[in-house]
Chain A
Amino acid sequence: MGNLFEIFIGSILDHNIALAYILGMCPLIAISTNLRNAKGMGLAVIFVVTLTGIINYPIYLLLQRFDVGHIHLLIFITTIAATVQFLEMFLEKFFPKLYNAFGIFLPLITVNCVVLGVSLFFVNRAYSFAQTAAFSFGSGVGWFVAIVLVAGIREKMAKTSDVPRGLAGRGIVFIILGILSLAFVGFTGMASIQ
């Protein structure tokens, strides 16, 4: 149990999927212009990452049993696309309020590298099922933290600061991300994830 908690905390702070492994940058940069959208996208990612991590684990075991582990990439990406599609229909039918909150972010998630990345990392690290679940949820939360932080900073910066012309728009996000990621390096050694 202690180990699960360690993986969960580690994947939020120490091994943050956005700031230490640099995954999911495209949506992070594109959607972090205002806080409200960032929250929506972040929540959708938590939801989908946890779900696909849990679904992909038994599928991978099944693939290994039939000795076709090398096509796991193709299967994973199909599972993710199918899960997102299913989730969209399910939410639209039964939880229209939640569906409206997610808006256009749900379909965008299929091409978010965080989702596929989490599935590939648990293969590389040979996690158990419970560890996979903790790691998936933690990574989703970590990505949420990252996008909300960036969006908050960008929202403030848009009003107050004078950014050089060459860095304006998406360029300055890299500097923000660099400083944030530098701050997260400070958490190194808090929790081991391997």
Chain B
Amino acid sequence: MKLIRMKYTKWFNISRDGLSKNNPIVIAVLGICSALAITNRVDNAIAMGIGVTFVIVASSSVISLIRNFVPSKVRMVTYMVIISTFVISVQMFLEAFFPNQASELGAYVGLIITNCIVMGRSEAFAIKNPVKYSIVDGFANGFGYMFVLIFIAIIRESLAFGTILNYRVMPEGWTNWTIMAIAPGGFFVLGMFIWIFRELSNNFEEQV
């Protein structure tokens, strides 16, 4: 009974929107750059997913906190400054505690600033909604992003290196698919993933 009532609350709707109905990568096709460039290893995908989730949640909550004071003309600049502050803190955190990941992700950590998902959530949601909903929305979109990233990374890493998180999963004598470790592999896997996801969720794009 409780579960049925849950279905109609705003919390549930916001989370469902972020995770599946309007999944930032699969349905809205945003934030593709990082989703493809760093998903050849599962650990990189997890690090990136957590970083992006943190930046979305933090910047959405700050922006929705100050939404009544910011004049609408300078709001873009305000987003940029707030987002880059959090991205710099993510970068410094990674460099201090996970130097390996930081060097592998390289410039892509800095590029979280231009990840359209972060900017998109600020503009589409946080500027109009109270803090508590913005935080839920940030988490939902962050996790929606992270789960696609991890899924792609699992496929790519197991085919390209025969491992998942450095544990061997493929049998002895497995020939590594080098193509999966470089850019084309990412494009193909994401294309296939979008196809399957849309086919299963029955969510198609209108032909323009």
A29, A81, A124: the one contacting B106 at CB < 8 Å is: A124
Which chain A residue shows the least CB distance to B87? Answer: A73
Q: Which applies to chain B's interface (DSSP): helix, strand, loop or mixed?
A: helix
Which chain B residue shows the least CB distance to A179? Answer: B184
Q: Does chain A have a CB within 8 A of B3?
A: no
Interface residues of B in 74-110 (CB under 8 A from A): 76-77, 80-81, 84-85, 87-88, 91-92, 106-107, 110
A117-B111 in contact given A29-B29, A124-B106, A175-B187 (Cβ < 8 Å): yes
Chain B residues with a Cβ closer than 8 Å to the other chain, count: 46
Residues of A within 8 A of B172 (CB): none
Once the chains are docked, how many angstroms separate the CA of A168 from the CA of B188?
15
Interface size class of A (residues with CB under 8 A): 35 or more
Q: Does chain B have a CB within 8 A of A145?
A: no
A22-B184 in contact given A116-B111, A166-B195 (Cβ < 8 Å): no
Question: Nearest chain A CB to B109's CB is how many angstroms away?
Answer: 9
Which chain A residue shows the least CB distance to B27? Answer: A170
B80, B116, B194: the one contacting A171 at CB < 8 Å is: B194
> Do A70 and B198 have beta carbons less than 8 Å apart?
no
> Do A81 and B188 have beta carbons less than 8 Å apart?
no
> Do B37 and A169 have beta carbons less than 8 Å apart?
no
Q: Please, what's the 1-or-0 string for A103-120, where 1 marks a CB less than 8 Å from any CB in chain B?
A: 000000011110111001
Question: Nearest chain A CB to B41's CB is how many angstroms away?
Answer: 15
> Do A120 and B107 have beta carbons less than 8 Å apart?
yes
Q: Does chain B have a CB within 8 A of A192?
A: no
Residues of A within 8 A of B190 (CB): 174
> Do B88 and A121 have beta carbons less than 8 Å apart?
no
Residues of B within 8 A of A26 (CB): 29-33, 116
Interface residues of B in 151-208 (CB under 8 A from A): 179, 182-188, 190-191, 194-196, 198-199, 204-208
Provide 23 A-B residue pairs closer than 8 Å at the C-beta atoms, listed in order of the A residue.
Answer: A19-B183, A21-B183, A22-B183, A23-B37, A25-B32, A25-B33, A70-B88, A73-B87, A73-B110, A73-B113, A74-B84, A81-B77, A81-B80, A111-B116, A115-B114, A117-B111, A117-B114, A124-B106, A165-B204, A167-B191, A178-B185, A178-B191, A185-B179
> 5 closest Cβ contacts across the A-B interface?
A178-B187, A174-B191, A169-B205, A25-B32, A120-B107
- Residue numbers of A with Cβ under 8 A of B are 19-26, 29, 33, 70-71, 73-74, 77-78, 81, 110-113, 115-117, 120-121, 123-124, 164-172, 174-175, 177-179, 181-182, 185
- Residue numbers of B with Cβ under 8 A of A are 29-33, 36-37, 76-77, 80-81, 84-85, 87-88, 91-92, 106-107, 110-111, 113-116, 119, 179, 182-188, 190-191, 194-196, 198-199, 204-208
